[in-house]
């Protein structure tokens, strides 16, 4: 076998291994359909290596913010390609309207997720699984999924964080 052929095979093999490590496969992304629209979500594991930063809040501040917070995630640790993003990805927890009857419960659930992420960001070897929604900044490509922006959201519905993949009910 020629050196060129050997190098070409090694290059392709390395590319396959790299893409399997760095990109989510279609099996990692769960698709649900509601009112004729596809929603894409997945489980994501965060740790001190993948979290670039997270602003710390006291609980009273967190409640005043309606449970809204963001985590900066290193792009190279994120399983979906984001070719338009030059830096960290921003993972956002949406705001909960305090007028909702279950707002206190929803915000408390979000605070528990937030504390677990803060703890994981400070502890080597510790991680926390969270559930994210790729919509609306996702598109299908020939290789699978790709983010069109640097933002993704925690999975949520009606002011509540949804800690799972699959159908809501």
- Of 31, 27, 25, the residue nearest 166 (C-alpha): 31
- Model confidence band, residue 160 (pLDDT cutoffs 50, 70, 90): very high
pLDDT in tens, 58-70: 999 999 999 999 9
Q: How would you class 17 by CB atoms within 10 Å of its CB: exposed for 0-12, middle for 13-18, buried for 19 or more?
A: exposed
Contact 59, 38 (CB under 8 A): no
Angle CA 149–134–143, to nearest 5: 80
CB atoms within 10 A of CB 159: 21
Residue 159 has pLDDT above 50, yes or no: yes
Identify the residue whose tokens are 């490509």.
141
pLDDT in tens, 66-114: 999 999 999 999 999 999 999 999 999 999 999 999 999 999 999 999 9
């Amino acid at each position: 076998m020629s050196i060129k052929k050997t190098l070409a095979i090694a290059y392709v093999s390395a590319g396959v291994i790299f893409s399997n490590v760095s990109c989510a496969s279609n099996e990692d992304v769960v698709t649900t359909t509601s009112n004729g629209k596809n929603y894409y979500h997945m489980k994501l594991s965060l740790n001190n290596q993948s979290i670039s930063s997270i602003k710390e809040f006291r609980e009273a501040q967190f409640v005043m913010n309606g449970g809204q917070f963001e985590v900066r995630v290193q792009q190279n640790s994120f399983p979906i390609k984001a070719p338009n993003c030059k830096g960290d990805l921003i993972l956002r927890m949406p705001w909960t309207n305090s007028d909702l009857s279950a707002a206190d419960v929803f915000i408390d659930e979000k605070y528990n997720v937030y504390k677990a992420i803060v703890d994981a960001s400070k502890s080597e070897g510790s991680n926390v699984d969270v559930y994210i929604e790729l919509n609306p900044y996702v598109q299908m490509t020939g290789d699978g999924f790709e983010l069109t922006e640097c933002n993704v959201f925690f999975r949520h519905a009606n002011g509540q964080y949804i800690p799972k993949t699959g159908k809501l009910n």
